[in-house]
Amino acid sequence: MMEEEEGAEEQQRFSYQQRLKAAVHYTVGCLCEEVASDKEMQFSKQTIAAISEVTFQQCENFAKDLEMFARHAKRSTINTEDVKLLARRSNSLLKYITEKNEDIAQFNLERKAKKKKKLEDENKNSVEPAEAGVVESEN
Amino acid sequence: MTLVLHTFRPPWMGSRGRVAEGWVGSLVCGKRERVCRNRAGELVSKLLHLHFKDDKTKVSGDALQLMAELLKIFVVEAAIRSVRQAQAEDLAQVGVEQLEKVLPQLLLDF
């Protein structure tokens, strides 16, 4: 009975993995298409499948490394420092990732500032008449 | 070996300021749409969580975006280096043989 349950779980995990692989394959296909049209070169279907396979396998290495880096720093949440550590092997890669990290941080900062301002403007509009009422009652 | 991406800056890359939004988006559908960003994050998140050993491990939002970038660069580098190899061999199509030649260095760089 236990074996059956384990077998079913294995099946589920396998088909989940297959779905993820398919999603990666689609994404890789999109990216390769952009490169192909830019460089005016064609990719054979097998090449795209191979790149997709390698990418999926590389994700496993990345995930395990990231988990270890975070655990080494006594954290359970992986942060950008861990990702930067992952990109250490090539100088230009590290530089690119560090720049991208700053772009992302900057972008998120601006987005938060816009949201905060929007919230403040909305509060200002709804609070003003109430404040006037409070001031009057205090006098 | 320098990142090929740095030397061949394709036209779809855009200026540095606008790249953050476009890149994460393009991981999924190749378009600079903000809708794509969430889908990219979701896929990357699922891919990472598939291989975590500990259930408690989480990924911060910024780290997820950065990982999406890293994976995108991985794929694009693989593609561009293979193209370069095919061009060097005077071929009209990029085949698995070209990919096989560039794969070792690619894996060493990552």
CB A55 within 8 A of CB B99: no
| C-alpha dist (Å) from residue B87 to A29, A42, A115 | 20, 11, 48
Q: Let me know if residue B1 belongs to a domain.
A: no
- Which amino acid is residue A60, in one-letter code? E
Residue B19, pLDDT > 70, answer: no
Considering only CB atoms, B29 lies closest to which of A30, A96, A108, namely A30
pLDDT (mean) for B89-103: 96
DSSP 3-state percent helix, strand, coil across chain B (nearest 5): 75, 5, 25
Q: Let me know if residue B81 belongs to a domain.
A: yes
CB B74 within 8 A of CB B65: no
Q: Let me know if residue B24 belongs to a domain.
A: no
CATH number of A10-77: 1.10.20.10
pLDDT at A2: 74
Q: For residue A112, what are its two tokens? A: 């938060």
Alpha carbon distance A103, A106 (integer Å) = 5
* CATH number of the domain enclosing B44: 1.20.5.4980
Range list of β-strands (E), chain A: 42-43, 77-78
Domains of chain B: total: 1
Q: What is the ipTM of this complex?
A: 0.82
Residue B9, pLDDT > 90, answer: no
Contacts of B63 in chain A (CB under 8 A): 66, 78-80, 82-83
> What pTM was computed for the model?
0.77
Q: Which residue of B has its CA nearest to A84?
A: B66
Cα-Cα-Cα-Cα dihedral sign, residues A87, A88, A92, A95: positive
Domain holding B97, by residue range, is: 39-109
Q: Let me know if residue B54 belongs to a domain.
A: yes
Q: Range with the lowest mean pLDDT among A5-19, A98-112, B23-37?
A: B23-37
CB environment A38-53: b (16+ within 10 A), e (fewer): bbebbbbeebbebbbe
* Mutant choice from B51, B105, B109 vs A, greatest count of A C-beta within 10 A: B51
pLDDT (mean) for A45-65: 97
Q: Where along chain A do its domains lie? A: 10-77, 89-121
Considering only CB atoms, B51 lies closest to which of A64, A80, A105, namely A64
Q: Let me know if residue B11 belongs to a domain.
A: no
